[in-house]
Structure formats: C-alpha cells, structure tokens
C-alpha cells in the first residue's frame, strides 16, 4: 500500500489514480479540546490517514467565516480561521501530509464571498456606481421608491435572491444578488479586480504547498443580468428554455475563459497544480470543465443517482470513460460528499427503487454521521418539519441535480460541526403515514431539536449519539446519529 501511494504521489498527473478523502476540519479532530476541530488535529491524525490507504485529502473550507453556510461564506480567502488554526499550523499540516505521501486539495469558493469580506464591507460604505460596489452585483429596486427587488428570482436556499442594503447616509438603498444565502453576495466576474484577486489566491496557497483546488459552484460565476430575464421567476431551473451555454446564471460558455486563466497559474508550478470542478451540469457539458486547458477534471455525480446495480454502474462507467478519452481528460467518481446522504446509507434506504443487492437492502439503515460530518435521518419527511423549525435550525434549499425534488435541508447549528441534516424527499421511499405512523397533520406539527455533548474523537470505537426529540411531544420514535471517530494517539 505504501509503495503504491509513493508511486502515485510522485506522478505529475497523480490525480488520475488518486483516492481522495474529504475532511471537514471543524469536526474531524480537536487537538486543543475546545470543542472545535482544528488543523493541529488533522496533523495529529496523519498516521491514521496514511493507514486508510488514501492518496490525497480534500479540506472543506478552513477560512475565517461566520459559518452561515458551513464555511462556504468566506471572509478572507488567504487566511485560516483563528478558531481552528494559523497559517503556520497550516504549513505544518501540509508538510506532515506530504511526508506521508498524501497530497492536499483545498476548497475555493469563487462564486460568492461572505457579507463580512472586506470588499463587501467597502461596497456597503461606498456610493452607488463606485468601483467598490461594482465588484458585486448591485441593482436598483423596482416600485415607487425601489422597495421591490429587481426581479422575482429565488435563491438556492429559499426566499428571494436579492437583499436590500442601507446606504451610507442611512436611507434604503440598492439590492445585491445572492444565489445562495443572503450572507453570500455574488461576485461580479465582469470586474477585473475579481479575476486578479483569485489569481493571487491560487498562487498564495500553491506557494504554501497546496497540490490542487476543489472549485465550489464552478458552473456559476459568469452571469447575464439582462432585464429581459427578469420575468424568469425560476431562474435556478428553466435550463430547457436556453441553448447550451446561454442560461442567465448557470454553465455559461464564458466561464471557461476564467478557468483558462487559472490553468496558466497552475502550470507555473512543477508539477502543475490541479483542480476539480463541482459543476452540476448535463453530462454532455461536463467535458469542458475537465479540459486540460481548463480545470482538468470535474466531479462525476452520476453514481450519486444510481442504484446499487451492476448494470447501472457498468453503463455509467463505460459512458464516462469514453467521454473522458475523447478530450484527453479523466473521470472523477463521487460516491459521497458533504452535500448528500452517505452512500452506505443511501444504498440501504427502504423503498422500491434500491437494488436488492444493495448493502442493507430491506432493512432501515441506522442514520450515520461520518468523520467529515455528513448527516442522514430516517423517519421524518423533510417537508413535515419546516413550518415550525426551531431557532437553532435554519432552512436551506439545496440545488442538486443528483437530489430529487431539490431537497430542503436543515442546518444543525447546535453542535461543533454545523453540517446539514438531510431529510429524504423521494415519495416512493418515505411517506408520512408509513414511515412514522403519524397522521400528516401530526407530522406537519413535528419539529426536532438535537442535543449532544462535544467530545468527538476519543477512541477508535467510540460513538457519539445525538438524540432528537419531538418539540411538540408527539409520539415519535427518536432518531439517532452515530459518529465514527478517528483514533486518538
């Protein structure tokens, strides 16, 4: 195993053969026992990671953040959140991983910043039409006094995609676009400052030894805000209304000009830095993101949508290998990540569509919380608890082509990891009456809150149970989350 890892590590195109392990730093390992995972914790677990036989780790965002979106609301792209470490500790972690022949991939979030980013604060303190404001997407409102949003576009997380600001003089002002949370204003990628700043960020982390980048919402960035599109209320959907590459906000052809600039930066290094696109696009559009002239690879999410059946896996693998060969690229297979139910749980979900050969088929799976802190919950449909979700939870609409019906997620703020609890949406898998024995009205009134003590990572066999109980006192079976924790030294 060690010999194979060394061989992969030394290859210039190591990513073609690598097994990559995702780490959510704030929950993986806590070195200073403050209840939050940290970079020193990752460094302390390098032997554990090496023994897993992986070739690379992918770090979810570790940047300064208010965690409105689990760290994907970035305050500063060239720093470490002081709650989880320092730049020196980052360097020590990279050196330790490299000594174990493990590559390092970090998340980069180019579609939006946080609303605490220095640029956005400058935009709020600058007048309409200023250079500071033009780095983001601001528009005047409609109505007599601009009190209505520029259009009725909805965000991925629910609610309108526009947020009104207060001008420096205290008067109600313009509106800014946020395709995700209101704390995540979208960058204006027509502004040269945005291009230059991200090139600087790529060099900053590459100079510190980072081997590659996972590009969040890679199919976003470029947008066409022609007022003619204002009538398109469901801007997040409606892809069938547009020819390829011409949707107002998703998968526009000109986004690849950005990635050509990035490729020039990657090729300044030896070996060249690599990247992988998170691009939820149609299969025939994936190849451009995986082009050697661009990012070089894109996540292939087809297996996220497949049942555990040999014929489905064979068809998906054969089709995608053929497509990759045609462009000289490679295919990056994804079984799970922080946005979806883990595959061990997903394959075992009860219902008519999973394969008879799936692990756990025919048995309700034990909801699992794994090391990078993905959640799955059995028993309660997602629509059932949204009307009375407690203050500690926040509503989030997810835009995933791999998740039927755009599932609603619930953000658990009460524990150290702050990841997402996902409630299944497939009506052929879970229904209110059959899943819970409750009437629909009773289910609609049910809201859950979770409680649990921090202290993850105490032994290899340890589990931490977070018990959820009905807020209304309904006779509902408690759900339990189980967390597998890495060993302590």
Q: Give residue-wise pLDDT tens across range 300-357.
A: 888 888 888 899 999 999 988 888 788 777 788 888 888 888 788 888 776 533 333 3
**Closest to 141 (Cα-Cα) out of 99, 176, 180:** 176
Q: Which of the two residues, 161 and 416, has the higher pLDDT score?
A: 161
Q: What size, in residues, is the chain?
A: 489
CB 105 within 8 A of CB 59: yes
Residue 161, pLDDT score: 95
Residues 137, 178: Cα–Cα separation, whole Å: 9
For the chain, give the percent of residues with pLDDT over 70. Answer: 71
Output the six-digit token pair for 468.
């959820």
**Closest to 443 (Cα-Cα) out of 430, 426, 459, 429:** 430
Q: Show Cβ contacts of residue 237 under 8 Å, excluding neighbours closer than 6 positions.
A: none
Classify residue 421 by its DSSP letter.
Answer: E
Residues 306, 326: Cα–Cα separation, whole Å: 24
Q: For 381-486, where are the E strands, in sequence order? A: 393-397, 408-412, 420-422, 448-451, 466-470, 479-483
In which order are the strands placed within the sheet that holds 393-397?
393-397, 408-412, 420-422
CB 255 within 8 A of CB 222: yes
CB 210 within 8 A of CB 94: yes
Residue 266, pLDDT score: 98
Residue 21, pLDDT score: 93
- Say how many C-beta atoms besides its own lie within 10 A of residue 234's C-beta: 10
Q: What is the pLDDT of residues 166-177, one digit of tens each?
A: 999 999 999 999
Residue 350, pLDDT score: 65
| Mean pLDDT calculated for residue range 406-423 | 27
Residues 238, 169: Cα–Cα separation, whole Å: 39
For the chain, give the percent of residues with pLDDT over 90. Answer: 52
Q: What are phi and psi of 333, to 5 degrees?
A: -80, 135
CB 376 within 8 A of CB 365: yes
Residue at token pair 């305050």: 75
Question: Is 370's pLDDT higher than 90?
Answer: no
Question: Is 267's pLDDT higher than 70?
Answer: yes
| Highest mean pLDDT, choosing among 352-356, 377-381, 384-388, 423-427 | 352-356
Strand 420-422 relative to strand 299-300, pairing: unpaired
**Closest to 20 (Cα-Cα) out of 281, 400, 330:** 330
Output the six-digit token pair for 232.
């398109």
Residue 239, pLDDT score: 76
Residues 187, 259: Cα–Cα separation, whole Å: 16
Question: Is 425's pLDDT higher than 50?
Answer: no
Residue 373 banded pLDDT, cuts 50, 70, 90 = very low
**Closest to 247 (Cα-Cα) out of 229, 260, 227:** 229
Q: What is the pLDDT of residues 10-63, one digit of tens each?
A: 888 898 889 999 999 999 999 999 999 999 999 999 999 999 999 999 999 999
Question: Is 124's pLDDT higher than 80?
Answer: yes
Catalytic amino acids?
216, 278
Residue 10, pLDDT score: 83
Using DSSP, state whether 449 is helix, strand or coil. Answer: strand
Residue 328, pLDDT score: 73
Residues 425, 409: Cα–Cα separation, whole Å: 10
Q: Show Cβ contacts of residue 8 under 8 Å, excluding neighbours closer than 6 positions.
A: 14, 17, 18, 55, 101
- Say how many C-beta atoms besides its own lie within 10 A of residue 439's C-beta: 12
Question: Is 464's pLDDT higher than 50?
Answer: no
**Closest to 120 (Cα-Cα) out of 27, 200, 184, 56:** 184
What is the 3-state composition of the chain as percent helix, strand, coil, each rounded to the nearest 5?
Answer: 30, 15, 55
Residues 128, 147: Cα–Cα separation, whole Å: 16
Question: Burial, 164: exposed, middle or buried (Cβ in 10 Å; 0-12, 13-18, 19+)?
Answer: middle
Q: What global pTM score does this model have?
A: 0.73
Residue 446 banded pLDDT, cuts 50, 70, 90 = very low
Output the six-digit token pair for 133.
């404001």
Helix (H) or strand (E) segment spanning residue 195: helix 192-207
Q: Which of the two residues, 340 and 434, has the higher pLDDT score?
A: 340
Using DSSP, state whether 297 is helix, strand or coil. Answer: coil
Residues 139, 165: Cα–Cα separation, whole Å: 11
Strand 408-412 relative to strand 420-422, pairing: antiparallel
Q: Show Cβ contacts of residue 19 under 8 Å, excluding neighbours closer than 6 positions.
A: 53, 54, 55, 56
CA atoms within 13 A on the CB side of 318: 6
Q: What is the pLDDT of residues 208-247, one digit of tens each?
A: 999 999 999 999 999 999 998 888 877 787 777 888 999 9
CB 219 within 8 A of CB 281: yes
């Amino acid at each position: 195993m060690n010999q194979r890892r060394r061989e992969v590590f030394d290859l210039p195109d190591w990513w073609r053969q690598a097994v990559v392990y995702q780490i959510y730093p704030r929950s993986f390992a806590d070195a200073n026992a403050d209840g939050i995972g940290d970079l020193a914790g990752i460094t302390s677990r390098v032997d554990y990671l090496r023994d897993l036989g992986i070739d690379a780790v992918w770090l979810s965002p570790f940047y300064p953040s208010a965690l409105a979106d689990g760290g994907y609301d970035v305050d500063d792209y060239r720093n470490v959140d002081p709650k989880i470490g320092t730049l020196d500790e980052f360097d020590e972690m990279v050196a330790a991983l490299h000594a174990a022949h493990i590559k390092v991939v970090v998340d980069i979030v180019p579609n939006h910043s946080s609303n605490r980013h220095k640029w956005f604060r400058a935009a709020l303190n600058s007048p309409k039409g200023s250079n500071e404001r033009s780095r983001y997407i601001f528009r005047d409102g409609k109505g007599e006094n601009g009190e209505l949003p520029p259009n009725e576009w909805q965000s991925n997380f629910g609610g309108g995609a526009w947020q009104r600001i207060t001008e420096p003089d205290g008067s109600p002002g313009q509106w800014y676009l946020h395709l995700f949370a209101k704390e995540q204003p979208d960058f204006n990628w027509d502004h040269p400052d945005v291009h230059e700043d991200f090139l600087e960020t790529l060099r900053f982390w590459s100079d510190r030894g980072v081997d590659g980048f996972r590009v969040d919402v890679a199919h976003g960035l470029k947008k066409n805000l022609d007022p003619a599109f204002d009538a398109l209320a469901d801007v997040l959907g409606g892809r069938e209304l547009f020819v390829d590459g011409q949707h107002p906000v998703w998968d526009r052809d000109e986004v690849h000009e950005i990635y050509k600039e990035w490729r020039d930066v990657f090729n300044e290094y030896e070996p060249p830095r690599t990247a992988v696109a998170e691009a939820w696009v149609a299969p025939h559009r994936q190849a451009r993101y995986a082009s050697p002239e661009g990012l070089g690879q894109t996540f292939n999410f087809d297996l996220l949508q497949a049942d555990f059946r040999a014929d489905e896996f064979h068809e998906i693998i054969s089709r995608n290998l053929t497509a990759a060969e045609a462009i000289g690229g490679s295919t990056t297979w994804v079984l799970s990540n922080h946005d979806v139910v883990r595959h061990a749980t997903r394959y075992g979900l009860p219902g008519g569509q999973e394969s008879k050969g799936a692990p756990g088929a025919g048995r309700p799976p034990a909801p699992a919380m794994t090391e990078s802190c993905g959640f799955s919950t059995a028993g309660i449909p997602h629509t059932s608890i949204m009307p009375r979700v407690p203050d500690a939870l926040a509503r989030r609409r997810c835009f995933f082509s791999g998740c039927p019906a755009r599932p609603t997620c619930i953000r658990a703020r009460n524990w150290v990891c702050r990841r997402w609890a996902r409630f299944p949406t497939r009506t052929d898998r879970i229904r209110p009456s059959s899943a819970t024995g409750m009437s629909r009205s009773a289910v609609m009134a049910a809201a859950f809150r979770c409680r649990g003590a921090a202290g993850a990572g105490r032994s290899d066999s340890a589990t931490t149970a977070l018990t959820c109980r009905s807020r209304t006192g309904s006779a509902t079976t408690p759900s339990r989350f189980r967390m597998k924790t890495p060993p302590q030294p």
